[in-house]
């Protein structure tokens, strides 16, 4: 009951806000009902459309790099040696660090006078505007986000690789399989169910990502890194247009609902076996 009140009630309020005209003056007074006007405005002005497109690009980059990187790391780190163990531990520690810390470091590394650009200048190249150019900022933040999620994915994939029965590897080795063939014909098929679930989790993670955008670019330059979660925050708490922010958030929630339905179905199906 406590849970229902605290978790569902905000969503109801959010929906009401998105259908009303609420600015900072009347946040605690009457909310005039205006129907779908907030949504229509958002889409006709292009703000919401751009937000959706940015989110899509962001999610695709994070998911692809996050999954491929996770599988690669899991396979490379499946041994039990000390170096492997230390590296895995370090990666999981970084995953456990607050996103605001990781985001700060990457903002520094990618800055004009940061490590990456200092290295480029050593090779006589001019500095690259990782975070200051509308064309690259979104990609940079997405790659950093993927970097942050790879350790978790690697840990889960690794458990799945370790679950493959020894006999399968032995059989493959008896048949003279190269490590590459072993990967394609033994490991990869065994990872399929894990990949599906982690795929959905990574998509959702990327979709709701807010921290890295806030820390690294604040949605800029221009509106080039305004993903839906950031857009709704920006509209509500920087522009003080609470109902516009709520409308953007509602669009995000609808997408999440669809994703969650897919995920819930696969989880429930797995349990009723």
Partner 1 sequence: MSSSTVTVATPRTAHGRRRTRKSPAAIAIRIILAIVYVIPLLWIVLTSFKDKDDVIGSSTAIFFQPTLDAYRAAFTPELLAALGQSLVIATTSTAIVLAVAIPAAYGLARVRGVLPTIGLSLLIVLQMVPQTATVIPFFQVFGGLRLLDTNLAVILADAALMTPFAIILLRPFFRAVPPALEEAASVDGARSFRIFWSIVLPVVRNGVATTATLVFLIVWGEFLYAVNFFLTPGNYPLSALLAQQVSSYGINWPGLMALGVITSLPILVLFSFTYRLLKEGLTVGAVK
Whole-angstrom Cα distance, residue 151 to residue 45?
39
Cβ distance to partner 1 smaller for residue 28 or 192: 28
Cβ distance to partner 1 smaller for residue 130 or 263: 263
Cβ distance to partner 1 smaller for residue 179 or 189: 179
Q: How far is the CB of 38 from partner 1 (least distance, A)?
A: 12
Tokens 């006078």 belong to 113
Q: How far is the CB of 132 from partner 1 (least distance, A)?
A: 14
Which residues face 148 on adjacent strands? none
Q: How far is the CB of 143 from partner 1 (least distance, A)?
A: 10
Q: Long-range contact list for 180-186, CB < 8 A, 24+ apart?
A: 183/75
Q: How far is the CB of 100 from partner 1 (least distance, A)?
A: 5
Whole-angstrom Cα distance, residue 138 to residue 148?
15
Q: How far is the CB of 47 from partner 1 (least distance, A)?
A: 15
Whole-angstrom Cα distance, residue 244 to residue 41?
9
DSSP code of residue 27: T
Please check whether residue 215 is in contact with residue 97, taking contact to mean a CB–CB distance below 8 angstroms.
no
Cβ distance to partner 1 smaller for residue 53 or 119: 119
Cβ distance to partner 1 smaller for residue 44 or 178: 178
Question: Rg for the chain (alpha carbons), in Å?
Answer: 22
């Amino acid at each position: 009951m406590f849970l229902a009140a605290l978790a569902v009630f905000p969503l109801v309020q959010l929906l009401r806000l998105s259908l009303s005209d609420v600015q900072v003056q009347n946040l605690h007074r009457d909310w005039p009902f205006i129907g779908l006007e907030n949504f229509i405005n958002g889409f006709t002005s292009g703000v919401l459309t751009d937000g959706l497109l940015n989110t899509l690009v962001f999610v695709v980059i994070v998911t692809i790099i996050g999954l491929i990187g996770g599988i690669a790391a899991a396979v490379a780190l499946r041994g039990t040696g000390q170096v492997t163990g230390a590296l895995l531990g370090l990666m999981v520690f970084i995953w456990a660090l607050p996103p605001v810390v990781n985001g700060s470091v990457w903002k520094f590394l990618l800055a004009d006078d940061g490590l990456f650009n200092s290295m480029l200048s050593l090779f006589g190249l001019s500095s690259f505007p990782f975070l200051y150019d509308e064309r690259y900022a979104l990609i940079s933040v997405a790659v950093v986000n993927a970097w942050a999620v790879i350790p978790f994915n690697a840990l889960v994939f690794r458990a799945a690789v370790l679950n493959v029965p020894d006999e399968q590897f032995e059989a493959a080795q008896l048949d003279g399989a190269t490590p590459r063939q072993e990967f394609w014909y033994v490991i990869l098929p065994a990872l399929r169910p894990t990949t599906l679930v982690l795929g959905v989790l990574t998509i959702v993670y990327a979709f709701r990502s807010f921290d890295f955008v806030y820390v690294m670019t604040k949605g800029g330059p221009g509106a080039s890194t305004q993903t839906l979660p950031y857009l709704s925050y920006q509209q509500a708490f920087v522009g003080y247009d609470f109902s516009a922010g709520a409308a953007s958030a509602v669009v995000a929630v609808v997408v999440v609902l669809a994703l969650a339905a897919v995920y819930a179905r696969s989880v429930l199906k797995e349990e009723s076996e």
